[in-house]
Amino acid sequence: DLAQHFIGAAAITASVNSQIAQVLGEEKEMQDAQGGSGFSFVDLTADKAGTRFGELATANPDSARKIQQAMAKIKDYTDFMPDPRTLPEHMDAATFNARYGTINSEAYQKVSKEIDALIAATPIYRQ
């Protein structure tokens, strides 16, 4: 499932833009909270990492070459995807609303920024 989130977000970013990828990722998780597998910051981490990958792969020719060279040297997935297992997941709508309210809340934005920091610390994105 994480691979699908990563690849999907990278593809959407490369073909449309990162804002659409972000909105679609968050919307998917909000729908999952309404009766699916639940809202997952784990899945959202894969979305955000894929979005960052897509941004770097398509920013310009130099950036694309750098990401290709970095990918040729990876040892495992943690070189391009942070380990998200400590983040909250499987939250139904009531649980999400009680903890975070909306995706615009301070509590939600705090977790989102933590995810961004995890991604920025991942080897491939420290170019």
pLDDT digits (tens, 9 = 90+) for 48-68: 999 999 999 999 999 999 999
The helix/strand/coil state of 88 is: coil
Counting Cα atoms < 13 Å in the Cβ hemisphere of 100 gives 20
Q: What is the pLDDT of residues 78-118, one digit of tens each?
A: 999 999 999 999 999 999 999 999 999 999 999 999 999 99
Burial 67-79 (b: 16+ CB within 10 A, else e): beebeeeeeeeee
Asked whether residue 126 carries a pLDDT value surpassing 90, the answer given is no
Among residues 67, 47, 49, 48, the alpha carbon closest in space to that of 57 is found at 67
Among residues 49, 10, 44, 52, the alpha carbon closest in space to that of 25 is found at 44
